[in-house]
């Protein structure tokens, strides 16, 4: 069936089967392969995208449910050149190794910092505990997110830190 929604500030129209997940639609129809699929049962968080500003597991959401929504993926949180403050903080703190969970970490952290730019370490750990990373042991990821808070505080929340 045809659906229409916004991805990374662009309107898209796609024809999908009703059973297709949003993750598969983004990856295989729209070729936005930055969103990764790690478990397909909503535990690992690699597929996290923003739907109307909220962090959502795109493997647990059907593409048809995105009708009319504003979807933002890791590509939409990136610039053409260089890194955003959040991404630069990840790089500085070596908060990624294989990079597979990274898009989900970025989208989740962006949603958190946009809402709560003053969150503390416990809050960061609590929110990130929904995203699995097998490489880093998380400590560097928590540090990266904490260090990126200033960018979001300056922006007064609302997401310009990305």
- 69 or 144: CB nearest another protein: 144
How far is the CA of 69 from the CAs of 8, 45, 62, 92, in angstroms?
A: 11, 20, 12, 33
Give the nearest distance from C-beta 25 to another protein in angstroms.
12
| Per-residue DSSP letter, 66 | G
Strands of 16-129, DSSP E: 48-51, 54-57, 70-72
Q: Which is nearer to another protein, 27 or 149 (CB)?
A: 27
Q: Binding string, 92-131, against another protein, x = CB under 8 A? A: x-x-xxxxxxxx--x--------------x--xxx-xxxx
b/e 32-56 (16+ beta carbons within 10 angstroms → b): bebbbbbeeeeebbbbbbbbeeebb
48 binds another protein (CB under 8 A): no
Residues that bind another protein (CB under 8 A): 17, 19-20, 27-28, 32-41, 43-44, 46, 73-75, 78-79, 83, 87, 90-92, 94, 96-103, 106, 121, 124-126, 128-142
């Amino acid at each position: 069936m045809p659906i229409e929604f916004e991805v990374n500030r662009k309107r898209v129209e796609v024809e999908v089967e009703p059973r297709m997940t949003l993750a598969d639609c983004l990856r295989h129809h729209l070729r936005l392969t930055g969103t990764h699929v790690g478990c397909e049962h909503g535990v690992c968080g690699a597929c996290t995208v923003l739907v109307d500003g909220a962090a959502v597991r795109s493997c647990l959401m059907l593409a048809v449910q995105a009708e009319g929504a504003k979807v933002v993926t890791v590509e939409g949180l990136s610039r053409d050149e260089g890194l955003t403050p959040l991404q630069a903080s990840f790089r500085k703190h070596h908060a990624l190794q294989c990079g597979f969970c990274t898009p989900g970490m970025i989208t989740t952290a962006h949603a958190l910092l946009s809402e709560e730019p003053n969150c503390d370490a416990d809050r960061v750990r609590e929110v990130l505990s929904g995203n699995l990373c097998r490489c880093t042991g998380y400590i560097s990821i928590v540090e990266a997110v904490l260090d990126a808070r200033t960018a979001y505080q300056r922006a007064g929340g609302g997401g310009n830190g990305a």
